[in-house]
């Protein structure tokens, strides 16, 4: 009996051993976090346009405006309704709508002439165009934010590399200064200054690491990446089209700016609405057809009706309303006129604002170009000074601390150059968005 239990235990262990080994050898590591996704500026923008929740919401708003316009337009299309019902009557039999009670009925309606309603339908169609312009504005805003985040992440990572080198130089300066203090060549205040420089570098590293994490979280969310997905980004300049727009930006903004397009659609829609409301002084015409299958027992108490009773009844014709005096039409026309005047003033203000913004942002790009050139020359001068110090150090004319201070200065100038270049890129993106040329550069 004992040997049978031992054999059964051995078989059970042998059966479980492969499963245990498989469980230990197959940790399900997510591919997204282990394999960095390689991004370019255009690839990042492309992913954001496919995954942005803001764009998805703007598309739904366009669909909602299209459906609203379709509801009004449907009045001018064939509408067929079927119905039936049951109820108790006392006296003359009729339904709440004034029709006799029927076993089955069909009703057909279609608006032919109705100026105010058609004006409302045309205004709503213009509102759809305005909503599409707002969708384009949302797309541009997403592109600017993602491109700016991408370029800033490139700058932050480069700055962190420089700061870590700067920290190495600051560490060496602290060590050399302490040695010289111990030998009586430096005062304690110089050691404190060197330690302060090191502490400031460490503080900036922590700040930039925090900013790097914020940018990575933002980009993952906008690009539809996994929460722990690592990203590889490369330094990039905006494509050449950003440099070639020049003096035509104001004219381009007049044709492509989304705010202007929305304001123009608003004015056109208000004009169509006013024209339709004025047509309210004219007759309206509607096609109406009704077919009823009646029940004879509903009319047993009415001798004349029963004698001429027929089950199938058809009424077809037009319903014409001729306004004699309509205070409502007069009020609607006045309201439409006021709304049109307000829309025209808004369009004029928007034109002036966009023109002023394009000129202002164009000057800002020029100023950023000049600032970048100054930073580039300062960096070049710092690199040349460092080369001189390294040469003098090789000749024994300066000490290691002087060389490391030169490296610190070079790193600072590098970071200043990166900051000014990023500010210039932001100014370019802002200008291109206002001029309506952003999609030509980033898509």
- Domain end call among 297, 322, 347: 322
What is the maximum alpha-carbon separation in the chain? 133
Average pLDDT over residues 17-37: 48
Judged against a pLDDT cut of 80, whether residue 311 lies above it is answered with: no
- Please state, in angstroms and rounded to a whole number, the distance separating the CA atoms of residues 136 and 58: 9
Least confident of 149-163, 301-315, 373-387: 301-315
157 and 237 share one domain: yes
CB atoms within 10 A of CB 317: 10
Average pLDDT over residues 35-61: 92
Helices in 224-257 by DSSP H: which ranges? 249-256
39: β partners: 233
- Please state, in angstroms and rounded to a whole number, the distance separating the CA atoms of residues 152 and 147: 8
311 and 353 share one domain: no
327 and 391 share one domain: yes
Whole-number pLDDT of residue 10:
43
What is the DSSP annotation of 262-310?
Answer: HHHHHHHHHHHHHHHHHGGGS-EEEEEEEEEEE-GGGGTT-HHHHHT--
Least confident of 158-162, 226-230, 332-336: 226-230
244 and 254 share one domain: yes
- Please state, in angstroms and rounded to a whole number, the distance separating the CA atoms of residues 378 and 135: 43
237 and 106 share one domain: no
Q: Do 344 and 421 contact (CB within 8 A), yes or no?
A: no
What is the DSSP annotation of 375-433?
Answer: HHHHHHHHHHHHHHHHHHHHTTSS-HHHHHHHHHHHHHHHHHHHHHHHHHHHHHHHHHH
268 and 304 share one domain: no
360 and 421 share one domain: yes
376 and 423 share one domain: yes
372 and 387 share one domain: yes
**How many domains does the chain divide into?**
2
pLDDT band at 297 (very low <50, low <70, confident <90, very high): low
Whole-number pLDDT of residue 323:
87
Q: Do 425 and 441 contact (CB within 8 A), yes or no?
A: no
41-46 CB contacts, 8 Å cutoff, 24+ apart = 41/147, 41/150, 41/151, 41/236, 41/238, 41/442, 42/442, 42/443, 44/146, 44/147, 44/150, 44/219, 44/223, 44/233, 45/143, 45/146, 45/147, 45/442, 45/443, 46/443
297 and 392 share one domain: no
DSSP state of 101: P
Residue pLDDT, tens place only, 176-192: 888 888 888 888 898 89
- Domain end call among 300, 322, 344: 322
51: β partners: none
Whole-number pLDDT of residue 7:
42
232: β partners: 38
Whole-number pLDDT of residue 143:
94
- Domain end call among 322, 348, 378: 322
The answer to whether residue 12 sits within a structural domain is: no
C-alpha triplet 139, 140, 146: angle, nearest 5°: 90
Average pLDDT over residues 227-244: 76
The answer to whether residue 6 sits within a structural domain is: no
- Please state, in angstroms and rounded to a whole number, the distance separating the CA atoms of residues 60 and 54: 10
**What is the CATH classification number for the domain harbouring 186?**
1.20.1600.10
Mean pLDDT rounded to a whole number for the chain? 84
The answer to whether residue 25 sits within a structural domain is: no
CA nearest to 33, candidates 233, 225, 215: 225
The answer to whether residue 23 sits within a structural domain is: no
Which residue range(s) make up the domain with 51?
A: 35-77+114-282+323-442
- Please state, in angstroms and rounded to a whole number, the distance separating the CA atoms of residues 145 and 52: 11
98 and 245 share one domain: no
- The reported pTM is 0.79
Residue pLDDT, tens place only, 78-107: 999 898 877 676 666 777 666 777 788 899
Whole-number pLDDT of residue 268:
96
The answer to whether residue 275 sits within a structural domain is: yes
Judged against a pLDDT cut of 90, whether residue 254 lies above it is answered with: no
**Chain centroid to CA 148:** 14
**Chain centroid to CA 266:** 22
The answer to whether residue 29 sits within a structural domain is: no
Whole-number pLDDT of residue 312:
83
What percentage of the chain carries pLDDT values higher than 70? 84
The answer to whether residue 266 sits within a structural domain is: yes
Whole-number pLDDT of residue 239:
66
CA nearest to 287, candidates 261, 262, 319, 329: 319
The answer to whether residue 28 sits within a structural domain is: no
3 state DSSP class of 107? strand
- Please state, in angstroms and rounded to a whole number, the distance separating the CA atoms of residues 187 and 194: 12
CA nearest to 253, candidates 167, 328, 362, 331: 362
186 and 105 share one domain: no
Average pLDDT over residues 250-265: 88
pLDDT band at 243 (very low <50, low <70, confident <90, very high): low
Judged against a pLDDT cut of 60, whether residue 6 lies above it is answered with: no
Least confident of 7-11, 97-101, 161-165: 7-11
């Amino acid at each position: 009996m004992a040997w049978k239990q031992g054999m059964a235990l051995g078989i059970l262990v042998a059966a479980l051993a492969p499963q245990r080994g498989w469980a230990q050898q197959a940790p399900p590591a997510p591919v997204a976090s282990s394999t960095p996704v390689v991004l370019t500026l255009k690839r990042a923008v492309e992913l954001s346009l496919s995954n942005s929740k803001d764009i998805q919401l703007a598309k739904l708003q366009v669909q909602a405006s299209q459906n609203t316009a379709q509801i009004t337009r449907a009045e001018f299309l064939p509408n067929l309704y079927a119905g039936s019902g049951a109820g108790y009557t006392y006296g003359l039999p009729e339904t709440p709508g004034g029709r006799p009670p029927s076993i089955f009925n069909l009703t057909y309606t279609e608006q032919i002439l109705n100026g105010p309603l058609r004006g409302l339908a045309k205004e709503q169609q213009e509102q759809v165009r305005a909503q599409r312009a707002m969708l384009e504005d949302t797309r541009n805003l997403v592109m600017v934010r993602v491109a700016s985040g991408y370029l800033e992440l490139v700058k932050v990572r480069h700055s962190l590399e420089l700061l870590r080198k700067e920290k190495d130089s600051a560490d060496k300066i602290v060590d050399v200064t302490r040695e010289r203090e111990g030998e009586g060549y430096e005062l304690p205040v110089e050691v404190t200054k060197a330690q302060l420089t090191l502490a400031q570098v460490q503080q900036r590293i922590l700040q930039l690491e925090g900013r790097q994490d914020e940018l990575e979280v933002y980009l993952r969310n906008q690009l539809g990446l996994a929460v722990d997905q690592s990203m590889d980004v490369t330094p990039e300049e905006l494509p050449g089209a950003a440099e070639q727009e020049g003096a035509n930006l104001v004219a381009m903004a007049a044709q492509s700016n989304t705010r202007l397009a929305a304001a123009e659609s608003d004015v056109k829609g208000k004009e169509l609405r006013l024209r339709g409301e004025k047509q309210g002084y004219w007759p309206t015409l509607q096609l109406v057809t009704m077919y009823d299958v009646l029940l004879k027992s509903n009319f047993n108490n009415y001798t004349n009706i029963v004698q001429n009773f027929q089950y199938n009844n058809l009424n077809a014709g037009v319903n014409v309303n001729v306004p004699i005096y309509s205070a409502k039409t007069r009020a609607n026309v006045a309201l439409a006129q006021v709304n049109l005047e307000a829309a025209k003033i808004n369009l004029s203000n928007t034109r002036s604002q966009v023109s002023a913004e394009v000129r202002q942002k164009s000057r800002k790009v020029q100023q950023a170009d000049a600032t970048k050139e100054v930073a580039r020359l300062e960096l070049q001068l710092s690199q040349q000074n460092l080369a001189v110090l390294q040469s003098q150090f090789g000749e024994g004319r300066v000490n290691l601390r002087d060389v490391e201070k030169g490296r610190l200065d070079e790193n600072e100038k590098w970071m200043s150059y990166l900051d000014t270049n990023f500010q210039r890129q932001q100014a370019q993106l802002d200008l291109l968005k206002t001029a309506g040329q952003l999609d030509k550069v980033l898509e």
